[in-house]
Amino acid sequence: MSLKGVIALVVLTIALAIPTWLVTRSPREVATPTKLFANSDLSKSDAIELSHSSGKSMKLACIDAANDRWMLTWREGSQDQSWPASTPRVRAVLRLLSALVTSIPSDLAPTKSSNLSIAIGAAKITATIDESLVSGRAALRLNDISLALIDTGLHSVLTTPDPAVWRDPAAFPSPIAEASRLSISTGGQELSLARVGRQWAIVKPVAEPADRAIVDELLKSLASIQAQRFIPDAGVDWKTPTASIRVELDQRTPSGEEVTRSTLMQELLIGGTADVGGATILARANASIDPGAARAPLWGPAPLVLSRQAIESLTTDPASVISRSPAPGPRADVARITLSPADVLGGKPVEFIRTLSGWTRDRTPVAPADAKSIDDLLALIFDTRADKVRSKPTPGSADLGSISLFRDDASPIATLELSQATQGPDAGFIASRGAFHWTFAPNAASKSAFSWIAAQAEGP
């Protein structure tokens, strides 16, 4: 073979080999990104400290691991300040930090940086964060060779010296669903409630059973109040607030064979308007704990701005939370009923007495129909929720008489004044006791019960 033929054969062989190599070669191994905090489980963090180059610093500490509650502390002027931290914000930041991967070391030498310290048990992780952004990113450095690039959002949270970014915005940050006592004061009037077992009772201005469902909704409403923003103390005279709300929770903390009892109190004071239009109002929140010896502050007082709409439905009228049943206690306690007709000439009270075999009327056994009517009446006034409760009488209502209820030992349970309104927004059958008026909308049950009551004035 000639030299030219050999050269041509070599060139052809190489040309055929190159595509084959490109197809059959093993893929290059791609380096797996390394997590910046690969050796630490940040979800188990106990505390986070942040220090800004300006000298301002703050600390977040887990104060209740079981319920994942965090407390934020910082120094403002010469005073140490505390406020519950936003757990969702803390957890979100820890998740973002856990997901960071190492990046190529930056050639830029940082001029100013913030410091980050995370405690996990006895271990402590420290890092620095460049305070200057380059193309929307900054370096978070564990050391000179281990760093990750973070975006604007995470950078802003970690380097902003304002503690407001970490604060829980709730006006009542500690859970209040299981509160022991609740008080609302405004305009010289006060409504005080206390939990009795699983039920609620009005303590002030009257002693009456409260409606548990309504009080629970009231607590939910209070728990949903959130600050639109936190502000410096504006020099408001908080000794004379326009209104105040106080929620107390009795706590029991087991410690070996002993139990420590304490009371956590959260208070919200309401001041004047915060804007010209009056859509927002000034407020101040604080919390303290009473372990039995002396009350100690927990957080606040913190001035904040609230939406007026968040509190405008609050009232000190006990009718707003009173039990929706006009007769207190269980209906099984009723042993004697006295019906008194209204303005019936010569009308006498009609008496019904419970016996082992049923009911008697004036010592004469009643008909089965009457026994059912009595039971239906008791079901209405004891077990049926009234449609409305008012602390003022309904104008234009017609008197129907009264019903008195007694126990087996002749002690009184209640006397209800009965009336009916046929027109207006409060139209219906009304049972009044003291200063309160329970209105039942006209329906088959209420019409039947009140018609039977009216019929008793005419005699058996």
Give the pLDDT of the chain (460 residues) as one tens digit per residue: 565 554 554 444 555 555 554 445 545 444 466 889 988 999 999 999 999 988 999 999 999 998 999 999 999 888 899 999 999 999 999 999 999 998 876 555 656 889 999 999 989 999 999 988 888 888 898 876 788 899 999 999 999 999 999 999 999 999 999 999 999 999 889 999 999 888 999 999 999 999 999 999 999 999 999 999 998 876 778 888 999 999 999 988 777 777 788 899 999 999 988 888 889 999 999 999 987 667 889 999 999 999 999 998 899 999 999 999 999 989 999 999 999 877 654 567 889 999 888 888 877 888 877 889 999 999 999 999 999 999 998 888 888 889 999 999 999 999 999 999 988 888 899 999 999 999 999 999 999 988 888 887 665 5
Length of the chain counted residue by residue: 460
Instruction: State the Cα–Cα distance between residues 431 and 154, nearest whole angstrom.
Output: 61
Residues 335 and 313 reside in one and the same domain:
no
Scored b (16 or more CB within 10 A) or e, 21-30 reads eeeeeeeeee
- Asked if residue 136 is part of any domain, the answer here is yes
Residues 186 and 311 reside in one and the same domain:
yes
- For tokens 């004061």, the residue is 185
| Residue numbers of the domain that contains 144 | 42-165
Q: 87-98 vs 152-159: helix axis angle to the nearest 10?
A: 120
Residues 267 and 302 reside in one and the same domain:
yes
Q: What local confidence, expressed as pLDDT, does residue 441 receive?
A: 92
- Asked if residue 97 is part of any domain, the answer here is yes
Residues 303 and 191 reside in one and the same domain:
yes
- For tokens 């008489």, the residue is 401
- Asked if residue 152 is part of any domain, the answer here is yes
In 3-state terms, what secondary structure has residue 346? coil
Q: Which of 263, 259, 267 is nearest to 249 (CA)?
A: 263
Q: How many CB atoms lie within 10 A of CB 51?
A: 17
- For tokens 């039977």, the residue is 452
- For tokens 């269980």, the residue is 330
Residues 155 and 279 reside in one and the same domain:
no
Q: What is the DSSP letter of 402?
A: E
Residues 406 and 279 reside in one and the same domain:
no
- Asked if residue 25 is part of any domain, the answer here is no
Residues 81 and 209 reside in one and the same domain:
no
Q: Which long-range contacts (CB under 8 A, 24 or more apart) does 110-117 make?
A: 110/139, 110/141, 112/53, 113/53, 113/141, 114/50, 114/51, 114/52, 114/53, 114/158, 114/159, 115/49, 115/50, 115/51, 116/48, 116/49, 116/50, 116/140, 116/158, 117/47, 117/48, 117/49, 117/50, 117/51
Residues 78 and 142 reside in one and the same domain:
yes
Residues 426 and 297 reside in one and the same domain:
no
Last residue of a domain, one of 114, 134, 165: 165
Q: What local confidence, expressed as pLDDT, does residue 15 receive?
A: 52
Residues 46 and 160 reside in one and the same domain:
yes
- Asked if residue 360 is part of any domain, the answer here is yes
Last residue of a domain, one of 274, 300, 320: 320
Q: What local confidence, expressed as pLDDT, does residue 30 receive?
A: 44
**Strand order from edge to edge, sheet including 296-307:** 208-210, 199-204, 189-196, 181-186, 243-255, 258-273, 280-290, 296-307, 229-230
- Asked if residue 65 is part of any domain, the answer here is yes
- CB within 8 A of 163, min separation 6: which ones? 58, 72, 74, 81, 83
Q: What is the DSSP letter of 379?
A: I
Token representation of residue 165: 């970014």
- Asked if residue 14 is part of any domain, the answer here is no
Last residue of a domain, one of 165, 199, 233: 165
Q: Which of 288, 292, 317 is nearest to 302 (CA)?
A: 288
Number of domains within the chain: 3
Residues 294 and 336 reside in one and the same domain:
no
- Asked if residue 270 is part of any domain, the answer here is yes
Instruction: State the Cα–Cα distance between residues 339 and 110, nearest whole angstrom.
Output: 89
Residues 431 and 366 reside in one and the same domain:
yes
Q: Angle CA(393)–CA(398)–CA(401) in degrees, nearest 5?
A: 95
